Amino acid sequence: MVEIKLEHASVEFSVYNARSRSLRGDLMKRVGGHIGRSVKDDRVVIHALRDITLDLKAGTRLALVGHNGAGKSTMLHLLGGVYEPSSGSARIEGKVSSLLNLSMGMDPERTGRDNIVLRAAFLGMKLTEAKALVPEIAEFSELGPYLDLPMRTYSSGMAMRLGFGVSTAIQPDIILMDEMISVGDARFATKARARLQKMMERAGILVIASHSSDTLRQYCDRALWLKEGRIIADGPLEDILAQAHRPD
């Protein structure tokens, strides 16, 4: 069974001695939501998500919309099991592929070949399965002899190719994305889009956060509008886009 079920889930972050306005502003950009203050111990509390109830089943194609700081990225991390709810509950059934940080789990001092195994293991594969992926990822990434060099010698584009190749070699039940991924030059980007498209079509649940309405229309039929960490509206994509883009 593939399902994500949130019941009155909230995510909060406490930051001590965060008195400066610039730091508080930076926190809002990173996690979104609403800032509160505890009088007792002079700490800043970021209410990143507040009282979220949501049930996603197989076949869901969900768009997350809202301004910067609305809580979209935090929602993706909650749906992927990266964040535990501070209150309420989150139940995730199915294999998750979170395409939010393609280099997570990689070691810049290790070779590209080693990092294929590390990244695959980070994504939940057994060691034997991860090692079996190496030839296919080596061919897809087109890194040639660079695969045997430390990743610190790679350009950002080369590192992105490798991380993308591993992340899309495993067919997940649930895909979470923050904007569409752009990888490499035009020729490689075309190949990468075809690979990603196939994976997305096979997934049980797809959730994308994006500021591009055209992108969301291409892949989603339902949308969730977030504002200051709360769900403002949930419904058909076009209805929610019209509400979210309506002048205040």
| Statement: residue 140 has pLDDT above 90 | yes
In the chain, pLDDT over 90 holds for what percent of residues? 65
| Statement: residue 84 has pLDDT above 90 | yes
Question: pLDDT tens-digit profile of 33-48?
Answer: 555 555 455 667 888 9
**What pLDDT, on the 0 to 100 scale, is given for residue 245?**
82
More confident residue, 96 or 18: 96
Distance CA 26, CA 149 (A): 36
Q: Which of 88-97, 98-107, 211-220, 223-232 has the lowest mean pLDDT?
A: 98-107
**What pLDDT, on the 0 to 100 scale, is given for residue 27?**
53
**What pLDDT, on the 0 to 100 scale, is given for residue 77?**
94
Secondary element (H or E) of residue 234: strand 230-236
Give the residue-averaged pLDDT of 166-173: 91
Distance CA 177, CA 206 (A): 8
Closest CA to 91 of 208, 178, 9, 203: 9
pTM of the model: 0.84
**What pLDDT, on the 0 to 100 scale, is given for residue 39?**
45
Residues 6+ apart with CB under 8 A from 12: 45, 46, 47, 48, 86, 87
Strands 34-38 and 96-99: unpaired
Where helices occur in 87-225 by DSSP H, the ranges are 112-122, 127-141, 156-167, 186-202, 213-219
In contact, 225 and 233? CB cutoff 8 Å: yes
b or e along 115-129 (b: 16 or more beta carbons within 10 Å of the residue's beta carbon)? bbbbbbbebebeeee
In contact, 106 and 123? CB cutoff 8 Å: no
Give the residue-averaged pLDDT of 23-28: 53
Residue 206: pLDDT band (50, 70, 90) is very high
Question: pLDDT tens-digit profile of 215-234?
Answer: 999 999 999 999 999 999 99
Distance CA 152, CA 146 (A): 11
Distance CA 216, CA 61 (A): 9
